[in-house]
Amino acid sequence: MRIAINGMGRIGRLLLRRLVKIEGLEVVAVNDIMTPAQLVYLQKYDSVYGAAEDEVALENGQLCIAGKTVQILQQPDPAKLPWKELDIDLVLECTGLFMDSAGAGTHLQAGARKVLLSTTGAPDIPLCIYGFNQHQVSTGSLIVSPGGCMTNCSTHLIYLMQSIGIEAVHLNVVHSYTSRQHLVDGPHKDMRRGRAAAESVIPVPVDLAESLERLFPVLKGRIHTVTTRVPVANGALADFTFQMKADTSVQEINRIFKEAAASEYKGIIAYTEDPLVSNDVRGNTHSAVVEGSLTAVTGRMVKLMAFFDNEYGYTSRVVDWVKLLKEQQAS
Ligand SMILES: NC(=O)c1ccc[n+]([C@@H]2O[C@H](COP(=O)([O-])OP(=O)(O)OC[C@H]3O[C@@H](n4cnc5c(N)ncnc54)[C@H](O)[C@@H]3O)[C@@H](O)[C@H]2O)c1
């Protein structure tokens, strides 16, 4: 499968690191507005995951990585990307900019056969969470939204809690800062995102509830979400407060997650009672690591907490998606 990555930021670069090691996948080109020298430098050195294990170099304007050669493009307009000429099967859209079917569709017009977003797209793009409803994607689905890191964590947990019966849920995702915040105070349309990211605990609005309502229409109007950005560069903790429809217990809830993690959710959810901190899940491939020692029940209210690596855990699911789309292509 011939792949191109558009947007070589945190997610695009981590995907490239990982995809070049997978048999049968060829990353043909990467595109970003940064210069090739900047791109190669950031591909080589990473403040969160450390320097690349494989050789990374700029040679004749092309990126050499792990013995493979990848064409570097510097084109801000996706409509002008040479996907037809490069015979691209799949574009991984990782800029965060082209998230509706008109925007992401420009890759198709440019000649790519399929587009996989790296977040929850607009409602005009089917939202499919790996491990939940990935099989709803048919060979005819040309643009696929795999959800974002927070959606990937919370979908499975909400689904499993539904086996008891959810009245309502509040979710606060305590999350490392991202490039969509400021390093020092500055103007931003969401005032708090403009505040110095490493100086404060910063609540920011997020459209996670809308995404979850698309997946769980029965919970419409009964999900509230917020994300609290904290001064770490990586890692997240999803903090759920469920109002349940039926009585339950810590034992019942932990048993559900422990069993799910060992069976149908193996590889997607992990369960532990170790006293983790967010750094302990750096590089973890799961979408959610449920920390059972933090589960609490008061009346019909439940506290449930799960860690995830917002970058590594998330790109693990994108890699799963790429493999699935490759299988679909082959069949
Ligand atoms: N960082 C995370 O934890 C995380 C997790 C899951 C999903 N996501 C999603 O992935 C997407 C990317 O996030 P990120 O954290 O990698 O962002 P980022 O800011 O690190 O990367 C975005 C990249 O896109 C490039 N870019 C900007 N305009 C461009 C254009 N017109 N053409 C080509 N490239 C362009 C930027 O130069 C940058 O390198 C977002 O939608 C985000 O919500 C991020």
Q: Tell me the CATH number at 94.
A: 3.40.50.720
Task: Tell me, yes or no, whether 92 lies in a domain.
Answer: yes
* Same domain for 188 and 83: no
β-sheet bridge partners, residue 227: 173, 204
Q: What is the DSSP letter of 316?
A: H
| CA 138 vs CA 110, 121, 203: distances in Å | 22, 17, 37
pLDDT at residue 139 tops 90: no
Whose tokens are 């507005």? That residue is 33
**What one-letter code names the amino acid at 72?**
I
Residues 87 and 233 in one domain: no
Cα 292 from chain centre:
23
| Ligand 1 center to 95 CA (angstroms) | 4
Looking at the structure, do residues 236 and 300 belong to the same domain, yes or no?
A: yes
Å from CA of 281 to ligand 1 middle: 22
The tally of domains found in the chain comes to 2
**Per-residue pLDDT at 225 exceeds 90:** yes
Beta bridge partners of 238: 173, 306
Pair of tokens at residue 138: 């048919």
Q: Is 31 in the pocket of ligand 1 (CB under 6 A)?
A: yes
pLDDT at residue 249 is higher than 90: yes
Average of per-residue pLDDT across 122-147: 93
Collect all residues with Cβ–Cβ distance below 8 Å to 329 and sequence separation of at least 6: 1, 89, 139
In sequence order, what DSSP letters do the residues of 245-275 get, joined into one string?
SS---HHHHHHHHHHHHHTTTTTTEEEE-S-
Residue 149 beta carbon below 6 angstroms from any ligand 1 atom: yes
Q: Which atom of ligand 1 is nearest to the CA of 10?
A: 16
pLDDT digits (tens, 9 = 90+) for 82-114: 999 999 999 999 999 999 999 999 999 999 999
Question: Is residue 93 domain-resident?
Answer: yes
**Mean per-residue pLDDT of the chain:** 97
314 lines ligand 1 (CB under 6 A): yes
Domain that holds residue 300: 149-310
Residue minimizing CA distance to atom 17 of ligand 1: 9
CA of 98 from ligand 1 middle (Å) equals: 10
Tell me how far CA of residue 38 lies from CA of 8, 27, 50, 315, in angstroms: 10, 19, 17, 22
CATH classification of the domain holding 189: 3.30.360.10
Helix/strand/coil percent split, the chain, to 5? 30, 25, 40
Same domain (yes/no): 41, 163:
no
Distance 11 CA to ligand 1 centre (A): 6
Answer yes or no: is the C-beta of 148 below 6 A from any ligand 1 atom: yes
Q: Is 94 considered catalytic here?
A: no
Report the share of the chain in percent with pLDDT over 90. 97
Mutate which of 30, 95, 153 to test ligand 1's pocket (most atoms within 8 Å of Cβ)? Answer: 95
